[in-house]
Chain A
Amino acid sequence: VVDQIRLWQLENERMRTTPGFLFKDFDTYDEYQALSSYAEEIGVLEWKSDKKVMFFVSKYEQLRDFLKSRKSSK
């Protein structure tokens, strides 16, 4: 049992898991930037890479609405 606990601790220290959504395949870099900064603003951004033009968020709904309103305002 002690071994189990130690392993469990090790694993938790070494690995952090966050469920959510990976956003990729943006039409334009502008779209990526607008959406990722909005995600950061509302505090759901977990990871991003300007180089890969991808980001990961813990929540999706607000981004979907943001994307919709962006599209319709064009």
Chain B
Amino acid sequence: MPRAIRGVLIECEPAIKSIIVHLDSANNDIIIEDLDESHLVVKENMVHLLKQKLEDRLKETYRPEEPLADSE
């Protein structure tokens, strides 16, 4: 008998996926199944946290642009 596991399928680019895999590696409490280079299944209750953490990551990435806005 197959198992049906409740979760959320995430489809994203490999760069985003590797961030998620990295976030999961701390406690292994996010990912249910790593499917392929652009898909994974995560726990439903972790999606909100995941989005928040990704946003933080993206903010870090875009920080270099900020000084430009202040410079003149």
Contact = CB atoms under 8 A, between A and B. Distances in A.
To the question of whether A and B form a pair in one complex, the answer is: yes
Interface of A: 3, 7-8, 10-11, 14-27, 31-32, 35, 46-47, 49, 52, 54, 56, 60, 63-64, 67
Interface of B: 1-13, 16, 32-33, 35-36, 39, 41, 44, 47, 51, 54-55, 58-59, 62
B2 to A, nearest CB: 5
A22 B5 CA distance: 5
A47 B35 contact: yes
27 contacts: A7-B55, A7-B62, A8-B55, A14-B13, A15-B10, A15-B11, A15-B12, A16-B12, A17-B8, A17-B10, A18-B8, A18-B9, A18-B11, A19-B8, A19-B9, A20-B9, A22-B32, A23-B3, A24-B5, A25-B3, A27-B2, A32-B2, A47-B9, A47-B39, A63-B4, A64-B4, A67-B1
